[in-house]
């Protein structure tokens, strides 16, 4: 029972940290460009804790498997002051990409500190170089199809790996790897991931006008459906590997 509680605690801490870092990237970029953020939430589902700020509602929700930053004019275009849809293309791309980029930077920092702490500064920089190269290698494999769905890991697989960590160093190492994976995956050019949203913004820049809202909605929903199917398949593989 104690082991189960400890494992659950480690999983919640890891997921909560990565989600917070990711959403904080979106939030900070939005604030930088004076885009109104209606809600900053960690988790999904019913609200456990909430605090209304001057402009933003901050909420902790029940299901710790994600989070979101709800910006004015993001889901439905709005001409209101501080609207995301009224911001320039470059600003919107920066806001959307900030979450994944922050996850990658966070992973590099954690990895650097671990290597630096247990090796010398020279070894640390070599290790970081290899770590950064692995980011682009992973991204290339994912885009060109060199990485199969069977090699991917979902929440069940991640939970299993995290539960087996032994000590703070092991936990931080896994934290850095998963943060890297989250950042790279999220920037893939596939809707409804952030990378897919960036592609739509690039198309808007080329056309010099936004896509039809219905077409954009269909693309997002189609991508979301495929993502759900992929997630189910990955989860099935994770369960098979465990049992």
Residues involved in catalysis: 23
Copy the structure tokens of residue 240: 């098979």
Helix axes 168-186, 155-163, angle to 10 degrees: 160
189 Cβ contact partners less than 8 Å away, ≥ 6 residues apart:
143, 195, 196, 198, 199
Distance in angstroms (rounded) separating the CA atoms of residues 39 and 184: 25
156 Cβ contact partners less than 8 Å away, ≥ 6 residues apart:
235, 238, 239, 242
Alpha carbon 18 to chain centroid, angstroms: 7
Count of beta carbons in the 10 Å neighbourhood of residue 158: 20
What stretch of H or E contains 58?
strand 57-71
């Amino acid at each position: 029972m104690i082991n189960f509680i400890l494992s659950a605690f480690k999983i919640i801490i890891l997921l909560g940290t990565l989600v917070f870092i990711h959403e904080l990237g979106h939030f900070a970029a939005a604030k930088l460009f004076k885009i109104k953020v209606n809600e900053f939430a960690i988790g999904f589902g019913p609200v456990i804790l909430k605090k209304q700020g001057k402009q933003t509602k901050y909420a902790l929700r029940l299901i710790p498997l994600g989070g979101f930053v709800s910006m004015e004019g993001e889901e439905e275009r709005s001409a209101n002051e501080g609207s995301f849809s009224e911001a320039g293309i470059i600003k919107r791309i920066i806001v959307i990409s900030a979450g994944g980029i922050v996850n990658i930077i966070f992973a590099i920092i954690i990895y650097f500190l671990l290597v630096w702490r247990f090796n010398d500064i020279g070894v640390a920089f070599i290790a970081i170089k290899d770590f950064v190269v692995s980011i682009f290698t992973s991204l290339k494999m994912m885009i060109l199809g060199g990485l199969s769905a069977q090699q991917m890991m979902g929440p069940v697989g991640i939970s299993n790996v995290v539960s087996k960590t032994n000590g703070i160093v092991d936990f931080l190492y896994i934290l850095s790897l998963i943060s890297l994976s989250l950042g790279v995956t999220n920037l893939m050019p596939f809707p409804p991931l952030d990378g897919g949203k960036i592609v739509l913004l690039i198309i808007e820049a080329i056309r010099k006008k936004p896509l039809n809202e219905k077409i954009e909605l269909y693309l997002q929903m189609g991508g979301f459906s495929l993502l759900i199917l992929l997630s189910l398949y990955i989860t099935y593989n994770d369960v098979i590997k465990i049992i």
